[in-house]
Amino acid sequence: MELVKYEAEASGSSETDDKETFTHEIDRHKDMVQISEKVYKKALNAVTIERAQQNISDICATQESTALAGKSNVDGSDTTGQDITKVHAKHRSFAVAGVANNFDFASFARRR
């Protein structure tokens, strides 16, 4: 026991200093991991949006026609983002933009 104490004194460090240094290093690494996690989550989110984003524009149904834009029969796990703009229906036409899950166009067309 005395030999260990002597070696610590000879090296100029104490057990308390070693513990503090170790604790400081652990805290520093923990902070780095948390910062990295935030950066990676933001990057993953950006890539996911870029890969899964639908940009749909200028949909026009004319002369008793029907148009559908976006998703038509999606399941609950679909998280694709959508940016749909400029959807028009003219002259007894029908247009759907966005999600049209289980929509029956045939029955709607008969009513026109």
Whether the pLDDT of residue 12 is over 70: the answer is no
Question: What's the residue count for the chain?
Answer: 112
What is the chain's mean pLDDT, rounded?
78
* Residues 101 and 69 sit within 8 Å (Cβ to Cβ): no
Backbone torsion region of residue 3, taken as left when φ is above 0, otherwise alpha when ψ lies between -120 and 50, otherwise beta = alpha
**Could you read off the pLDDT of 19-56 as tens digits, one per residue?**
888 999 999 999 999 999 999 999 988 877 666 677 88
Answer with the residue of higher pLDDT: 67 or 23.
23
Q: How confident is the model over 3-11, as a mean pLDDT?
A: 57
Answer with the residue of higher pLDDT: 11 or 41.
41
Whether the pLDDT of residue 13 is over 80: the answer is no
Residue 101: what pLDDT? 75
